[in-house]
Structure 1
């Protein structure tokens, strides 16, 4: 059974990213993980039998605004239903009026998931990532 727990730095460094997110793996150092966990907001890990399947969260960038992020392993994709339902619940309870996220323009599954979560595409951010990939800006406004 999938369960969620508050994000710890070890979760971030333990998750084996799905192929579509492999480029991010290089920055998931222990120092980065500690910074991510220390940010104001909410962050959680999805676990199965002690294995970190996914990490996600919303980092507060103002009193009414947060930036959402997620890291998924391939194993998480096989258990997507419970993770999706938990994420919807956490978003519904989030205190921020506006939650934004950047979604890789070539990652069709991530685009579908953002839209299923109620995010609306607001624009294209050209050469947004460190390696020059384009991303769409999505936002969910209460």
Structure 2
């Protein structure tokens, strides 16, 4: 049986502590650069056996709209179902504060696209040249009914 997951507020250094998938290296670099802003949240860290395995949260763009961000450790596989349920619930609870939450996934990183769909996000558009390195991303959203 997988170990229980602990959800706690994001703390500076949590993103840097994750053993992430190579496809998330640019996103982690951005999260580390924005550490102080991400702490303002809402943002969370999910721990397994006291060690961070995922970080994520929301950054308000303007009233009613937020951008979701997230990083997942390479060894989160055994608890991905529980992690997905936990994250989906956190995002759903925050739809009360924002009517629209957006997220992006690198067009070449199919696992992120699948996960965003599992989290309740709907695919909207392809954004060519979106990332700092020029990579294309897919735009997803969850909109409050």
- Give TM-score scaled by structure 1 length: 0.89
For residue 106 of structure 1, what is the aligned residue in structure 2? 108
Please give the alpha-carbon distance, in whole angstroms, between the structure 1 residues aligned to 2:70 and 2:91.
13
Picking from 17, 20, 27, the partner of 2:20 is: 17
Task: Give the corresponding residue for 1:35.
Answer: 37
* Unpaired runs of at least 5, structure 2: none
Cα RMSD between the aligned structures? 1.6
> What runs of 5+ residues in structure 1 fail to find an aligned partner?
none
Q: Secondary structure at the match of 1:74?
A: coil
- Secondary structure at the aligned position of 2:120 is classed as coil
Structure 1 residues 33 and 134: alpha-carbon distance in aligned structure 2, compared to 1, 3 A threshold: same
Number of residues of Structure 1 aligned to a counterpart in Structure 2 = 139
Who is 1:77 aligned against?
77
1:13–1:33 CA contact under 8 A, matched in 2: no
Aligned to 1:127: 129
Conserved in 1, the CA contact under 8 Å of 2:38 and 2:57? no
Q: Secondary structure at the match of 2:129?
A: coil
Alpha-carbon offset, residue 65 of structure 1: 0.9
Equivalent in the alignment of 2:7:
4
